[in-house]
Structure formats: C-alpha cells, structure tokens
Amino acid sequence: MDVKKIRELFSKELVVINMGLESFADNLRKEDVKVLPMDWKPPAGGNKRLIALLEKLGR
C-alpha cells in the first residue's frame, strides 16, 4: 500500500476541480483554496445509448 502520493498531497497546496454542486466550489474559495468549478452536465446529454457506445470504446 503505497501512500507516497497521499503524502505529496498533504505537503502541497490543494488545487481542486469541482465537479457538481457549485456551492462546494464557492465555499472552497472562501477558504482561499484554488478551485476550478466545472460546468458539468451528464455525458452525451444523458442519452443512455450514446453513453453505452462510448463505453464500448473505452471512455
């Protein structure tokens, strides 16, 4: 169980990508955390067939 990367995370500044509820990004900003809020939406417009096709291709 190699925890080198976690130790790295603990020793650096958090740089966060926020995927989902925007309030989480807002709150992180208030705490001076560097955060990039995403404009996330369901992949392929939520179209199940297309998502299945993408998964067939390894995405």
Partner 1 sequence: MKKILVRKNAYYDSVFLMLATKALKQRPGIKEAVVAMGTEVNLGLLKEIGLFSGETESAKPNDLVIAIEGETEEAVEEACRIAEEALKKRSHGGGGEKEEYRPVSLEGALKIIPEANLVVISVPGMYAAREARRALNKGLHVMLFSDHVSVEEEVELKETAVERGLLMMGPDCGTAILNGKPLCFANVVRRGPIGLVAASGSGLQEVSCCIDRMGGGISQAIGTGGRDLQDQRVRGRMMLMGIEALKHDPETRVIVVISKPPAEELAAKVLSKLEDTGKPCVVHFLGPKALGRRGSVRFSGNMEEAAAMAVALSRGEEYHRSCLSLSEAEASRVAEAEVNRMASEQRYVRGLFAGGTLAIEAMVLFEEEGFKILSNVRKEPGRVLKSPHRSEGHAIVDLGDDVFTLGRPHPMIDPSLREERIAKEAADPETALLLLDVVLGYGAHEDPCGALAESVSKAKGQVAGRGGYLSIIASITGTEKDFQNMAEQKKKLESAGCLVMPSNYQASVLALHVMRKVASKWM
Partner 2 sequence: MKAKIEEANQEAVSRIQRAKPTLVDVSTAGEAIPGMKKNMILHAGPPVTWERMCGPMRGAVIGGMILEGFARNMQEAEALAASGKVLFDSCHHHSSVGPMAGVVTWSMPVWVLENKTFGNRAYCTLNEGLGKVLRYGAFSEEVIARLRWMAEDLAPALKKALLRHGAIDMKSLIAQALQMGDEGHNRNRAGTSLFIREIAPDLVMLDESREKIAKILTFIHGNDHFFLNLTMPTCKCTVDAAASIEGCSVVTTMARNGTEFGIRVSGLGDQWFTGPAGMVEGLYLPGFSAKDAAPDIGDSVITETAGIGGFAMAAAPAIVKFVGGSARDAVRYTQQMYEITVAENDTYQIPTLDFRGTPTGIDLLKVVETGILPAINTGIAHKEPGIGMVGAGLVHPPENCFHDALEAFAEKYGK
Q: Shortest Cβ distance from residue 22 to partner 2 (Å)?
A: 18
57 binds partner 2 (CB under 8 A): yes
Rounded Cα distance between 42 and 39, Å, is 10
* Binding region for partner 2 (CB under 8 A) out of 1-9, 10-18, 29-37, 46-54: 46-54
The token pair that represents 1 in the structure block: 């169980």
Rounded Cα distance between 11 and 3, Å, is 13
- Which residues of the shown chain bind partner 2 in the complex (CB under 8 A)? 41, 43-45, 47, 50, 53-54, 56-59
